[in-house]
Chains A and B, each alone.
Chain A
Amino acid sequence: MTLLKSIAGLSAGMLLASSAIAGPYDPYKGTTLVVNFPAHPHYDAVKRVLPEFTKETGIRVEVDQLQYLKMREKQTLELTKNKGDYDLLAYVVFSKADYVYADQLENLAKYFMNPKLADPNYDADDLIEGYVANIGVAGGKKGYMSGPTGSLFGVPFGSETSVLGYRKDIFEKHGLEVPETYDELLDLACKIPELEPGMGGLASRAASGHHASHAFLLHLAPLGGRIFDDEWNPTVNNAAGVKAAQALKTIVECGPEGSKTFGFAEAGASFLQGTSAMFLDSTVFAGSVNDPSKSKVVGKIGWAPHPMGVRKGSQTGGFGIAIPKNANNKEAAFLLMQWLTSKKADKLVALAGGNPSRYSTHADAEVNAKFPHMAVFGEALKDADPDWRPIIPVWGKINADLGTSLSKVLTEDLDIQIALDGVAERSKVIMEEAGYYTWQ
């Protein structure tokens, strides 16, 4: 009897002891998380790093990868179910407006407040500010940005900004300077086809719809424009808007042959095939320039920050990760989210070819040794503009209209002012219907 008691006492003591030294991941050991990630270079890198997480925590992760433009539809369906299949999902930045507005994402405050879950060494200050404001926070300034009333719904992961890629060999051959301002950029874009017959100046996307709109927005922010003013009145047709559209038109006209219908892939291909001398778009592209199976310009590409107009302002975009309200394993999902966006994993993902979301990773010596462009990207990120496009539920419609109108400017010689006036007028109606002028 005494023996039995002592054994019981001993095992109870051991149990106590083991729970006292239990790690934060222990309660979730053996859990399987289902996550939804896009088919995207960053997330391909993440998949290579995930086994490390399972080894460290005992939490298994099942990845459902989808083409990124298809994610919104699938996720919208998933999020309206009572019990969802996903514990964690990566979302395209403009989905934030829909999901948060429909109350489908977990507010992350209660997780970061929970001492059993929140890692004190997480160092949120190290996360790139523009990305957090653009992708993670909602409810602050203008409703979709950070500010005193904002709160966090997701963490940027696989985020992108815009940088200028250029052909070092061509620039050296003709003694050209890397453009720092828009005037220099536009000047150069049209000079290159004269210096190098058959080569386009800058490969830009321009295809009707999302692509044309995206290319225009890239120029709008640095040239001092915005789609709306602070009262939601469309300002896309003001002088800055016209200048941005003019810049896009110039770039496309001096671009490689066929550039009027380029999407992101075609513009990138033109740069990789060596038929254009510059490329101004997302950083995600940088991973493929030195891949000989895709690129004919290996070792010839230099990178520079997005040129400035009246201000500096590169794009902010890409993905964030969030926990759905209807997830089954929210706490374990938070642990995965925190681990993935920690300093350690951010670096691991960067080394595997992903896009880091932390300043420290951009400055990291090991990462820079492997990807020398990372320092330039880190520099560019300081000017990343979280408000370069509005993230509101009706944006999809305005974006499409803007994109088709600009396509008409590029292909049918529609007058820029008339085109943008039309967009502003129609946007006003859309905004009115959506209730943005209720307080005016």
Chain B
Amino acid sequence: MAPAVAVMTVALLYPIAYMVYASFLDWNPSQRIGEATFVGLRNYTSLWSDESFKESLQVTLKFAAFVVSLEMVIGVGLALLLDRNIRGMSVLRTIFILPMMIAPIVVGLIWRYMYHPTVGVFNKTLNSFGFESVPWLSDSFWSLTSIIIADIWQWTPFIFILSLAALQSLPKSALEAARIDGASGWQQIIHIKLPLMLPVLIVTCLLRLIDAFKVLEVVLVMTNGGPGLSTEILSLRIARTASEFRELGVAAAMSNYLLLVLMMLTIAMFVYTKISESRAEKLKRAVEEY
């Protein structure tokens, strides 16, 4: 027990403690950490008067909210549609999860070329049908939309795969009973499938949410945060603060804010699993007693 605790403390907590300590320093990368001056909570408080940080936080929240909700709807929807025995299903499933397996930098590059104003496939297609070109990456509304679309393309399969697994492990008896009672397709989905899938869906959703808050490479390659600050998500802001502005303390403070948000989500996930477990336990006991 003791060695395990020691290893955990050193390997897990030391880097986090280091980051927390760094967030109280005015530290630039040309200094060793010992040479940096201690500034208390200044890095944390000054961020709230930093318009760019606030804008970046807003962008992150907007991005995470949109991608996760759209991905959930599309992913679960696809799973419900494809939960049947079609020939070639396994091939189809493999193809579906391909986007997830591509390196993020490559995803960014692919989409950047597809969004290219003149030679990109989207504008070329639009033009050939006689429509105007869309400023995919050069307009603040469209560029955020563009990165949301790319993220949905990449990560919907994740939700699809998990929902499909959940669907296929649903108790057949409940569905059969419903069918015999004459429930329509929609009724089965709304009253039986979705409620039974809910525990998996919530965990999936939280995992995606945590991931969406940390997305970096795809945005970095596609827009590098622009135009203006319209796609400068928090992780990009942190990276720039550390390397471009050379303010390691401020970057650490930002990371800690992000960590807090993610921690709250994780705790929410933990609490939810605990509650549902205890509820299942209670139900089981009730059944046994009965």
A contacts, CB < 8 Å to B: 72-73, 76-77, 79-80, 98-99, 101-102, 104, 207-209, 256-258, 260-261, 275, 393, 396-397, 400-401, 404-405, 407-408, 410-412, 414
Question: What are the 10 tightest A-B residue pairs by CB atom distance, in nearest-first order?
Answer: A208-B226, A258-B117, A102-B30, A411-B227, A260-B138, A408-B228, A397-B245, A261-B138, A76-B29, A407-B227
B227 touches A208 (CB 8 A): yes
- Inter-chain CA distance A414–B245, complex, in Å, is 24
Summarize A's interface: helix, strand, loop or mixed: helix
A408 touches B245 (CB 8 A): no
| B245: A residues at CB distance < 8 A | 396-397, 400
Q: Taking the nearest CB of chain A, how far is it from the CB of B53, in angstroms?
A: 12
A79 touches B30 (CB 8 A): yes
B28 touches A411 (CB 8 A): no
Q: Taking the nearest CB of chain A, how far is it from the CB of B219, in angstroms?
A: 12
| B117: A residues at CB distance < 8 A | 257-258, 261
| A209: B residues at CB distance < 8 A | 224-226
A258 touches B116 (CB 8 A): yes
B133 touches A411 (CB 8 A): no
Q: Taking the nearest CB of chain A, how far is it from the CB of B38, in angstroms?
A: 16
Q: A207-B224, A208-B223 are in contact. Are A73 and B229 (CB under 8 A)?
A: no
- Inter-chain CA distance A260–B135, complex, in Å, is 9
Residue B246 interfacial (CB < 8 Å): yes
- Inter-chain CA distance A411–B117, complex, in Å, is 14
B residues 1-58 in Cβ contact with A at 8 Å = 28-32, 52
B residues 138-186 in Cβ contact with A at 8 Å = 138-140
| A76: B residues at CB distance < 8 A | 29-30
B contacts, CB < 8 Å to A: 28-32, 52, 116-118, 133, 135, 137-140, 223-229, 232, 240, 243-247
| A80: B residues at CB distance < 8 A | 29-32
| B31: A residues at CB distance < 8 A | 80, 102
A412 touches B246 (CB 8 A): no
A99 touches B228 (CB 8 A): no
- Inter-chain CA distance A397–B247, complex, in Å, is 9
Residue of chain B at shortest CB distance from A212: B226
| B225: A residues at CB distance < 8 A | 208-209, 404
Q: Taking the nearest CB of chain A, how far is it from the CB of B186, in angstroms?
A: 44
A411 touches B246 (CB 8 A): no
- Inter-chain CA distance A412–B135, complex, in Å, is 12
19 extra interchain contacts, Cβ-Cβ under 8 A, other than A208-B228, A208-B229?
A: A73-B29, A77-B29, A80-B29, A80-B30, A207-B224, A207-B226, A208-B223, A209-B226, A256-B118, A258-B116, A260-B135, A260-B138, A260-B227, A261-B117, A396-B246, A400-B245, A407-B226, A410-B227, A412-B228
Question: What are 7 A-B contacts with C-beta separation under 8 Å?
Answer: A80-B31, A98-B30, A98-B246, A258-B116, A261-B117, A261-B223, A397-B245
- Inter-chain CA distance A73–B226, complex, in Å, is 23
- Inter-chain CA distance A414–B229, complex, in Å, is 13
B30 touches A258 (CB 8 A): no
Q: Taking the nearest CB of chain A, how far is it from the CB of B274, in angstroms?
A: 43
Residue of chain B at shortest CB distance from A77: B29
Q: Taking the nearest CB of chain B, how far is it from the CB of A89, in angstroms?
A: 14
A411 touches B140 (CB 8 A): yes
- Inter-chain CA distance A102–B246, complex, in Å, is 13
- Inter-chain CA distance A208–B246, complex, in Å, is 19
